Amino acid sequence: MIPFSKDAGTTLRGGRQELLFGSQRLVGPGDFTQVPHTFDGAQAIFRIADWTMIPFWTQAVFVDKYKFNKSSPDHQFYGFYTTAPAHLLPLNLDLYYLGANNRGATFNGTTGRENRHTLGLRTRGNIGQTNWDFELEGAGQFGTVGSGNIGAGMFTAVLGYTFPVKEWSPRANIEFDYASGDRKPGGRVGTFNQLFPNGHSYLGYIDYIGRQNIISPNAGIAISPIRDLTLTLQQYLFWRASDRDSIYNKSSAVLRATAPMRAMSARRQTCSRLTTSRAICKAMRATASSLAADLFRRPAGTKIASSSMRRCSTLYEKRELRIRPDRFDPDCYEKMMAR
């Protein structure tokens, strides 16, 4: 801590550390996870009156089971976070820029170096002299993944009410969360990157759904019957923002792939087993790639002819769909994926 005056000072931090900014929706320590988010780098915390400004530059640390954990220059994370009161209104403002430079990344079929920039704004406060409170946060992302441009975003709105019951301090809230998804595999990237969130605090304590390609209205109530004890009850509803993109968990891993990506995954698994014949693998790749494109062109509700269904059933039972690329039929594949 370096004091400059009564109302101004600077704190410098270097080495391995955790980062915690604002609501922690995008940057937090990752509590309640087996592998917390840690970084090697530096940050400076400037405080001037009610203003706080934090520039930082770090490299993400990865866990090695048998060696000391090391950070990597292939995964850089840097930016600037500032908080300040809005003197004209009874609320606080957070403004931030977050940059991520990752050597290798994949989003819905687009692969390459990720150079992503996030600009965000958060505000929160009470509504007049009432028991109502609110929080709004939004962020936009731009940059590149490989040769594809990034255009993604997220938005959160929270409205709460604290009941005038002094003993239990009950509070009810409604919330809406949105994070964009990709419109189609390959090319331009529309999937929001949730970066390094403290995910346990949001979208359900089950830690199942992440802030990527999601629409979630939710509501809850919390009470404090005794000191240092809070009981909460929450209800969440989830939809995909884009049905052409996958469902992601709180670690940003694919929880359930979209149909064409499942087709590609099945093709890769098949080829890995058929190591004795490169020709078969090549044919499977070509067929599955054309199938992925055909799945998007096929009108919704299109039915498969009964003759094709019978043939598909026979091939499926004989497992010939997996070893005979010359008999690989897109209609059959759709039926097999449906199982």
Listed by start position, the domains of the chain span: 2-256, 260-338
d(CA 123, CA 134): 8
- pTM of the full structure: 0.74
What is the model's pLDDT at position 259? 62
What is the model's pLDDT at position 10? 92
* CATH class of the domain defined by 2-256: mainly beta
106-131: burial string, b at 16+ Cβ within 10 Å, e else: ebbbbebebbbbbebebbbbeeeeee
pLDDT single digits (tens) 27-60: 999 888 778 899 999 999 999 988 999 999 999 9
d(CA 329, CA 309): 11
pLDDT over 70, % of the chain: 76
Ranges assigned E (strand) in the chain: 2-5, 8-17, 39-48, 51-62, 70-86, 91-107, 110-126, 132-145, 148-162, 171-179, 214-226, 229-236, 247-248, 254-256
d(CA 168, CA 229): 10
What is the model's pLDDT at position 245? 93
Cβ burial of 50 (10 Å; 0-12, 13-18, 19+) is exposed
pLDDT single digits (tens) 144-188: 999 999 999 999 999 999 999 888 889 999 999 999 999 988 889
d(CA 145, CA 303): 37
Average pLDDT, the chain: 81
What is the model's pLDDT at position 319? 42
d(CA 6, CA 74): 41
CB-based contact 204:183 (threshold 8 Å): no
Q: Which two tokens stand for residue 15?
A: 């080495």
| Structure confidence at residue 74 as a pLDDT band (50, 70, 90) | very high
What is the model's pLDDT at position 88? 67
CB-based contact 111:145 (threshold 8 Å): yes
**Rounded average pLDDT over 329-335:** 48
pLDDT single digits (tens) 256-294: 887 655 444 444 444 444 333 444 444 445 444 444 444
Q: Which one-letter amino acid corresponds to residue 287?
A: T
Q: Which one-letter amino acid corresponds to residue 328?
A: F
CB-based contact 131:125 (threshold 8 Å): no
What is the model's pLDDT at position 302? 45
Mention every residue, 6+ apart, whose C-beta is less than 8 A from residue 37: 18, 19, 28, 29, 30, 60, 196
What is the model's pLDDT at position 231? 93
Candidates 301, 278, 291; CA nearest to 328 is 291
Q: How many CB atoms lie within 10 A of CB 256?
A: 11
Count of residues for the chain?
A: 339
User: Which run of H or E residues covers position 189?
Assistant: none
Residue 191 pLDDT > 80: yes
Cβ burial of 147 (10 Å; 0-12, 13-18, 19+) is exposed
pLDDT single digits (tens) 210-265: 999 999 999 999 999 888 899 999 999 999 999 999 999 988 889 888 765 544 44
| Structure confidence at residue 1 as a pLDDT band (50, 70, 90) | low
| Structure confidence at residue 304 as a pLDDT band (50, 70, 90) | very low
User: Which run of H or E residues covers position 310?
Assistant: helix 306-318
